[in-house]
Amino acid sequence: MHALTGQDKLAFNKLQKRLRRQVGNAIVDYGMIRDGDKVMVCLSGGKDSYTMLDILMNLQRNAPVSFELVAVNLDQKQPGFPEHVLPEYLDGVGVPYHIVERDTYSVVKEKTPEGKTTCALCSRLRRGTLYGFAEEIGANKIALGHHREDMLETLFLNMFFGGTLKSMPPKLLSDDNKNVVIRPLAYCREADIAEYAEWREFPIIPCNLCGSQPNLQRQVVKEMLAEWEEKHPGRLEAMFKSITNVAPSQLADRNLFDFEGLEDKQREFQSKRIETLDVLTREA
């Protein structure tokens, strides 16, 4: 990062404080990091994970609790992947790190039919490898760099294509109950992260495993949300707030709310009301 002066320095400081505040609030709100935690920060080489690591290291120096950070990158053996970039960066910032080498690239290319998107399989293989490695190094928290828009995109993807009303939670217990996953950037806007990454001049490594896939469902949803925000500024903020303020009785999931028992609750309320009136009448 080049030395900043004047208005540029003020703008950068304001942005950094906002991201630091948002990450700090998410950590506190969801109990993401506690004293003595060892947090495995998954670093892909993209703007989001660089920003997450940078902000976490910043907070670590001033946090009221003591926690350990270790950066982990999964080298998927993509042809042309610049293997030197991340080690050089991590050596420079002084954070402990591991580079995990797994040839998931060949598996994804072999298993994915021609013309189909590779993201789902690639994500599953990455997740399984990283979960296992967290156990190996004794990390009890796994930090992923998903931000506010990622969570909203996932919400709509599941509604449009999966028939479920779910997103990416800020904190998650894995299906095998062995790993706690946290998303410290949950409150952060993608535009802020992109601007911060540009200021900090992170050595971004693009994901080129799948090449150009312009018809990805996630990309379509991303463009839809961007158009909504452009036409109606503040809409994404309101939408994100909605997933933190859920009213099960106003939806239709019978497992979350006892619709069948509403009459029983009504009768119970009426019975208690009559009893109260009787007591008041006797006392009068």
Give 163-214 as a DSSP string: S------SEEE-TTSS-EEE-TTTT--HHHHHHHHHHHT-------SS---T
Q: What is the mean pLDDT of residues 16-28?
A: 97
Q: Taking 70 as the threshold, does the pLDDT of residue 249 lie above it?
A: yes
Which pLDDT score, from 0 to 100, does residue 116 have? 62
Q: What is the mean pLDDT of residues 85-107?
A: 89
In one-letter notation, the amino acid at residue 133 is F
3-state class (DSSP) for residue 98: strand
Backbone angles phi, psi at 242, to 5 degrees: -65, -35
Q: What is the CATH number of domain 6-246?
A: 3.40.50.620
Give which of 88, 107, 80 is closest to 43, Cα–Cα: 88
- Tell me the pLDDT tens digit for each residue of 209-228: 554 455 578 888 999 999 99
Q: Using an 8 Å Cβ cutoff, are 204 and 47 in contact?
A: yes
Which pLDDT score, from 0 to 100, does residue 212 have? 47
Q: What is the mean pLDDT of residues 235-255?
A: 94
Give the H/E segment covering residue 73. Answer: strand 68-75
Measured distance CA(11)–CA(28) in Å, rounded: 26
The neighbouring-strand residues paired with 39 are 69, 141
Q: What is the mean pLDDT of residues 69-91?
A: 89
Q: Using an 8 Å Cβ cutoff, are 99 and 75 in contact?
A: yes
Which pLDDT score, from 0 to 100, does residue 74 have? 87
- Tell me the pLDDT tens digit for each residue of 137-180: 999 999 999 999 999 999 999 999 899 999 999 999 988 888 99
∠ CA 113-119-122, rounded to 5°: 90
- Tell me the pLDDT tens digit for each residue of 113-139: 666 666 666 677 778 889 899 999 999
What are the domain boundaries of the chain? 6-246, 253-284
The single residue listed with the structure tokens 């998303």 is 183
Q: Using an 8 Å Cβ cutoff, are 203 and 90 in contact?
A: no
Q: Other C-beta atoms within 10 Å of 221: how many? A: 20
Taking CA atoms, 57 is separated from 54, 66, 107, 134, 258, in Å, by 5, 12, 34, 19, 45
Class of residue 218 by CB neighbours under 10 A (exposed 0-12, middle 13-18, buried 19+): middle
Which pLDDT score, from 0 to 100, does residue 284 have? 59
The strand order across the sheet containing 180-182 reads 97-101, 68-75, 38-42, 141-143, 180-182, 171-173
Mean pLDDT of the chain: 89
Measured distance CA(272)–CA(249) in Å, rounded: 22
The neighbouring-strand residues paired with 70 are 40
- Tell me the pLDDT tens digit for each residue of 175-185: 888 899 999 99
Class of residue 5 by CB neighbours under 10 A (exposed 0-12, middle 13-18, buried 19+): exposed
**Which has more pLDDT, 124 or 52?**
52
